Chain A
Amino acid sequence: MSALTFTLKQPTDQRIDMSPLVCQKLQGLDVDAIAAIELQNGKSRRRVDELFYITGMNTQEIIIAYSNNKLDFIGKELDGGSISVQGDTGAYLGMQLKSGTINVSGDAGLYAACEMKNGLIQIEGDAGDFLGGALPGNKQGMKGGTVLVKGNVGQRAGDHMRRGQILIEGNAGDYCGSRMLAGTIAVMGNTGRYLGYAMRRGTLLLWNQPQLSATFNDCGSHTLAFLPILFASFKSFNSRFADSGAAFNRVQRYGGDMAETGRGEVLVRI
Chain B
Amino acid sequence: MIINGVTIDKTFAEAFPMKATRAIITAQNEKWAMISAQAMTGFATSVIACGCEAGIERVLSPNETPDGRPGVAIMIYAMGGKGLAKQLETRAGQCVLTSPTSALFAGIEGGKPIPLGKNLRYFGDGFQIAKKIGGKRYWRVPVMDGEFLTEATTGMVDAVGGGNFLVLAESQPQALAACEAAIEEMRKIPNVIMPFPGGVVRSGSKVGSKYASLGASTNDAFCPTLKGVTKTDLSPEIESVMEIVIDGLCKEDIDKAMRVGIQAVCDLGAANGIKRISAGNYGGKLGPFHFHLQEIMA
Q: Which residues of A contact B (CB under 8 A)?
A: 144, 163-164, 182, 184, 201, 203, 222-226, 228-230, 232-233, 263, 265
Nearest B residue to A230, CB-CB:
B133
What residues on A are CB-neighbors of B127 within 8 Å?
A: 263
Residues of B within 8 A of A203 (CB): 129, 131
List chain B residues, Cβ under 8 A from A265. 129
> Are B129's CB and A224's CB within 8 A?
no
Are B66 and A222 in contact, CB atoms less than 8 angstroms apart?
Answer: no
Task: Please pick, from B67, B69, B103, B126, the residue contacting A263 in the complex, using a CB distance under 8 A.
Answer: B126
Using Cβ atoms and an 8 Å threshold, which residues of chain A touch B147?
A: 222, 224-226
- Chain A residues closer than 8 Å to B68, beta-carbon distance: 228, 232
- B67, A222: Cβ atoms closer than 8 Å: no
**Residues in A neighbouring B149, C-beta threshold 8 A:** 225-226, 229
- B146 near A226 with CB under 8 A, answer no
A-B interface contact total, Cβ < 8 Å: 46
A229 near B146 with CB under 8 A, answer no
**Distance between Cα atoms of A163 and B132 in the complex (Å):** 8
Complex CA distance for A224 and B143, rounded to whole angstroms: 12
CB of B138 within 8 A of chain A? yes
Determine the chain A residues whose CB is within 8 A of the CB of B126 once the complex forms.
263
Whether A230 contacts B103 by the Cβ 8 Å rule is no
Which residue, A182, A223, A226, has most C-beta atoms of chain B within 10 A?
Answer: A226
Whether the pair A228, B67 counts as a contact (CB closer than 8 A) is: yes
Contact of B133 with A222 in the complex, beta carbons under 8 Å = no
Q: How far is the CA of A201 from the CA of B138 in the complex (A)?
A: 15
Verify if B134 is at the interface (C-beta below 8 Å from A).
Answer: yes
Given that A228-B68, A229-B66, A229-B138 are known contacts, is A222 also in contact with B146, CB under 8 Å in the complex? yes
Tell me the B residues contacting A by CB distance below 8 Å.
Answer: 66-69, 103, 126-127, 129-134, 138, 140, 146-147, 149
**A117-B147 Cα distance, complex, nearest whole Å:** 29
Given contacts A203-B129, A203-B131, 4 further A-B contacts (CB under 8 A): A201-B129, A225-B103, A226-B138, A229-B138
Q: Which residues of A contact B133 (CB under 8 A)?
A: 226, 229-230, 233
B146 proximity list for chain A (CB < 8 A): 222-225
The chain B residue with its CB closest to the CB of A225 is B149
Given known contacts A223-B146, A225-B103, A184 and B67 CB-to-CB distance under 8 angstroms: no
**A90 to B274 CA separation, bound complex (whole angstroms):** 81
Kindly report which residue of chain B lies nearest to residue A223, judged by CB atoms. B146
Complex: A232 Cα to B134 Cα, angstroms: 9
How far apart are the CA atoms of A232 and B131 in the complex, in Å? Answer: 14
Which residue in chain A gives the minimum CB-CB distance to B68?
A228
Query: What 10 A-B pairs are tightest by C-beta distance, nearest first?
Result: A225-B149, A233-B134, A233-B133, A225-B103, A228-B68, A226-B149, A225-B67, A228-B67, A230-B133, A229-B133
A163, B129: Cα distance in complex, Å:
12
Contact, CB under 8 Å: A184 / B103: no
Give bound CA distance, A29 to B257, whole Å. Answer: 57
Closest residue of chain A to B151 (Cβ to Cβ) is: A229
Q: How far is the CA of A263 from the CA of B68 in the complex (A)?
A: 27
B69 to chain A, nearest CB (A): 8
Docked pose: A228 CA to B69 CA in angstroms: 10
How far does the alpha carbon of A14 sit from the alpha carbon of B247 in the complex, in Å?
70
Q: How far is the CA of A184 from the CA of B69 in the complex (A)?
A: 24
B67 close to A182 (CB less than 8 A):
no
Please measure, in the bound complex, the distance between the C-alpha atom of A27 and the C-alpha atom of B131, giving whole angstroms.
Answer: 35
* Nearest CB of chain A from residue B240's CB, rounded to whole Å: 47
A-B contact pairs, 29 of them (CB 8 A): A144-B132, A164-B132, A203-B129, A222-B146, A222-B147, A223-B146, A224-B140, A224-B146, A224-B147, A225-B69, A225-B103, A225-B140, A226-B131, A226-B138, A226-B140, A226-B147, A226-B149, A228-B68, A229-B66, A229-B133, A229-B138, A229-B149, A230-B131, A230-B133, A232-B68, A232-B134, A233-B133, A233-B134, A263-B126
